[in-house]
Structure 1
Amino acid sequence: MTVIDPTRSEAAAQDDAGLHHLPLPLFAVPMGVGGLGMAWREAAVVLGAPALVGEVLMALAAVFWLLITAAHLWRLFRHPDAFAGDLSHPIRGAFAGAISIGLMIVAGGLVPYSVEMASTIWLLAVLLHLAIGVFIVRSLLLSPREAATLTPPLLIPLVGNILAPVVGAKLGFMTLSWMLFGLGGLLWILVQPLILYRIATGPMLPQRMWPTLVILLAPPAVGSLALSLLTEGFGPGPLAIYGFAVLMAAVLLSLIPQFRSVPFAMSWWGYTFPAAAFTAVTLKFAHAYPFAGEGLLLWALLIGVTGVILMVLVATLKALFAGHLFRPE
């Protein structure tokens, strides 16, 4: 006779319910950690920072990507409708682009160790990102959405192509990297004004989504970094885009009091990758154009951004172990 343990059955049901609500925005975790790894790698060149820090962070980003991907594949198997619902959601669906961007970052982490493996992973990431972009644009054409759903996360799957050359140029894929840079840059020019217009004219973003405003910093920061690699120098093009990134960074710094009032949500990860990318490109800018007191300023920026990303990571782990992470929105 089989005895059913009701306690075990209840625990299994709770685990299954948690899997059902596994957040798609979790893919922002390897983006943020990997972006910080990129910044520390740049700091090793410019500031003489310990190279090990950047390598450990890049390895952690790869581990997080693999774990989160495995969890979502299991979710897809157990709850395909829930996963499909996230993809079709007007806001959460945009975080599908973080899957392929995270994979690009994994490829970037492998560049110093295996060009062949990095190239293979980068090409797979690019194909995946383009497929996700096609899916998003197609959904916009077939299912027009309300203006209120035009939010900064929409930049992830569309403008994310601008990140590809940061890795692709190092691997020698110059032609494809230029094409991807043009694609991402043109979509940025088209999409960001729509988002800014929606934010400026209302309705106001819900408080828990305020951290996603920092995503507006990512395209100019990454774009400047990518163009500097494509042109093999920090010339007029990267400088022009970097100037816009500095403006956006200043605006976002002025909003810190508003950001501090936002309770923890997955949207906090919106702080991470853009801030890390801005740090990386600022280090590259300072290396090309030295200025008085740059060492102190750059270390302050690097440590400050590292502290923010560690804070977000710790808050996420606390929510995970407390069972607050896998709840319906």
Structure 2
Amino acid sequence: MVTLDHSGAPTEGAQQGSLRHLPLPLFAVPMGLGGLALAWREAGSVIQAPAIAGEVLMATAAAAWVVIFLAHVLRAFRHHEALAADLMHPIRSAFAGAISIGLMIIAGGAIPYSVPIASALWLAGVALHLVIGVWIVRSLLLSPRDAATLTPPLLIPLVGNVLAPIFGAKLGFLTLSWMLFGLGALLWLMVQPLILQRLATGPALPAKMRPTLAILLAPPAVGSIALMALTNGVGPGPLGIYALAALVAAVLVTLWPVFRSAPFAMSWWGYTFPAAAFTIASLKVADHHPMSWHLPALWLLLLVVSAMILLVSLATLRALWSGHLLQPE
């Protein structure tokens, strides 16, 4: 915990001690907020939601990414061994992929304002994500891990490539976007069966890790949106992938009693981006294949997901304020 000197200010040693335990999974925060921002943007055109909501959320996501990134840069200078330990950890290292995914989401947020800036951010995010992916695959080959460490966060750095085409296609990087989609989709087909086998045969996930089961929703939800962007429509391919996302979402809803029992941890952010991505996919499908019941259903989905992300955000701020966020895991 942070200690105070005689003036009532935190001491330097206490600040450094807290920074040592800065969670790498904090980079899931701009992912979740940015995903929700994109959902509100999409809702603005499909169900006439207030356009300003998406812009405010995107600005908040960008600010959060910058603050968290600078905090980790400071951590790297003061406690490089702690950051290195996270990057070598069989589970926490997967959240390095959230750094580059957050950057790609911010690039998508910048498209309406400056295509050159958005392109630069997107290319930087893609390059960083590929480097992180190489690092993760290399570690899998050189350091075989126990089955217990094969958890859903492993999908973030490997399957996260399917996110890139959503923005890359709009920015004109069509060939590269198709390549990234294929890379992410194929890695998904290779990695997810390993995770499902681990979940089906055990050992059971610890209570704090159970919210990461929601990450299983992200690949089909994001994959359907990416294929819509690449094909400029909602045809059989995107609809088929979206159907899988809907099935996973329904399963996750039935797991609500299990999720309720999980104590607060950064793993709660595992709910946020997948839920936002599924909301975006649902809005896009409804826009191309409208039905009479879509409007109230879409509003309900958007508001429920927004409330959930608000609750996770407030819980995180409360943990930060109390000092529990910067404690050894």
User: Structure 1-normalised TM-score?
Assistant: 0.97
Over the aligned positions, Cα root-mean-square deviation in angstroms equals 1.1
- For residues 264-323 of structure 1, give each alpha carbon's deviation from its aligned partner in whole angstroms, at most 9, with x where no partner exists: 110000000000000000000000111121110000000000000000000000000111
Structure 1 position 7, deviation (Å) = 6.8
- For residues 190-246 of structure 1, give each alpha carbon's deviation from its aligned partner in whole angstroms, at most 9, with x where no partner exists: 000100000000000000000000000000000000000100000011001001000
- Please give the alpha-carbon distance, in whole angstroms, between the structure 2 residues aligned to 1:133 and 1:191: 13
**Residue aligning to 2:102:** 102
- Code of the residue aligned with 1:246 in structure 2: it is A
Alignment map for 1:206-225 (pairs within 5 Å): 206-225=206-225
**Residue aligning to 1:236:** 236
- Please give the alpha-carbon distance, in whole angstroms, between the structure 2 residues aligned to 1:8 and 1:296: 52
* Structure 1 position 30 matched with structure 2 position 30: yes
**Residue aligning to 1:148:** 148
**Residue aligning to 1:298:** 298
**Residue aligning to 2:16:** 16
**Residue aligning to 1:271:** 271
- Code of the residue aligned with 1:79 in structure 2: it is H
Structure 1 position 9, deviation (Å) = 9.1
Structure 1 position 66, deviation (Å) = 0.2
- Please give the alpha-carbon distance, in whole angstroms, between the structure 2 residues aligned to 1:308 and 1:300: 12
**Residue aligning to 1:319:** 319
Alignment map for 1:80-91 (pairs within 5 Å): 80-91=80-91
**Residue aligning to 1:185:** 185
Structure 1 position 6, deviation (Å) = 6.6
Structure 1 position 140, deviation (Å) = 0.5
Identify the range of structure 1 (267-276 vs 256-265) with the bigger mean alpha-carbon deviation: 256-265
- Please give the alpha-carbon distance, in whole angstroms, between the structure 1 residues aligned to 2:7 and 2:87: 34
- Please give the alpha-carbon distance, in whole angstroms, between the structure 1 residues aligned to 2:248 and 2:262: 20
- For residues 61-117 of structure 1, give each alpha carbon's deviation from its aligned partner in whole angstroms, at most 9, with x where no partner exists: 100000000000000010110000000000000000000000001101100000000
* Structure 1 position 132 matched with structure 2 position 145: no
- Please give the alpha-carbon distance, in whole angstroms, between the structure 2 residues aligned to 1:6 and 1:45: 56
Alignment map for 1:49-64 (pairs within 5 Å): 49-64=49-64
- Please give the alpha-carbon distance, in whole angstroms, between the structure 2 residues aligned to 1:248 and 1:8: 50
**Residue aligning to 1:123:** 123
Alignment map for 1:283-294 (pairs within 5 Å): 283-294=283-294
- Code of the residue aligned with 1:149 in structure 2: it is T
- Please give the alpha-carbon distance, in whole angstroms, between the structure 2 residues aligned to 1:8 and 1:125: 41
The SS at the match of 1:325 is coil
- Please give the alpha-carbon distance, in whole angstroms, between the structure 1 residues aligned to 2:274 and 2:201: 24
**Residue aligning to 1:247:** 247
* Structure 1 position 70 matched with structure 2 position 70: yes
- Code of the residue aligned with 2:238 in structure 1: it is P
- Please give the alpha-carbon distance, in whole angstroms, between the structure 1 residues aligned to 2:301 and 2:52: 19
Structure 1 position 8, deviation (Å) = 7.2
Identify the range of structure 1 (8-17 vs 25-34) with the bigger mean alpha-carbon deviation: 8-17
Structure 1 runs (4+) greater than 4 angstroms displaced? 5-10
- Please give the alpha-carbon distance, in whole angstroms, between the structure 2 residues aligned to 1:30 and 1:95: 12
Structure 1 position 12, deviation (Å) = 2.0
Structure 1 position 14, deviation (Å) = 1.6
- Please give the alpha-carbon distance, in whole angstroms, between the structure 2 residues aligned to 1:265 and 1:195: 21
**Residue aligning to 1:48:** 48
**Residue aligning to 2:195:** 195
- Please give the alpha-carbon distance, in whole angstroms, between the structure 2 residues aligned to 1:9 and 1:275: 40
Aligned length: 325
- Please give the alpha-carbon distance, in whole angstroms, between the structure 2 residues aligned to 1:10 and 1:48: 47
Structure 1 position 11, deviation (Å) = 2.5
Identify the range of structure 1 (50-59 vs 303-312) with the bigger mean alpha-carbon deviation: 50-59
- Code of the residue aligned with 1:254 in structure 2: it is T
- Please give the alpha-carbon distance, in whole angstroms, between the structure 2 residues aligned to 1:62 and 1:53: 14
Unpaired stretches in structure 1, ≥5 consecutive residues: none
- Please give the alpha-carbon distance, in whole angstroms, between the structure 1 residues aligned to 2:158 and 2:6: 47
- Code of the residue aligned with 1:166 in structure 2: it is I
- Please give the alpha-carbon distance, in whole angstroms, between the structure 1 residues aligned to 2:225 and 2:6: 56
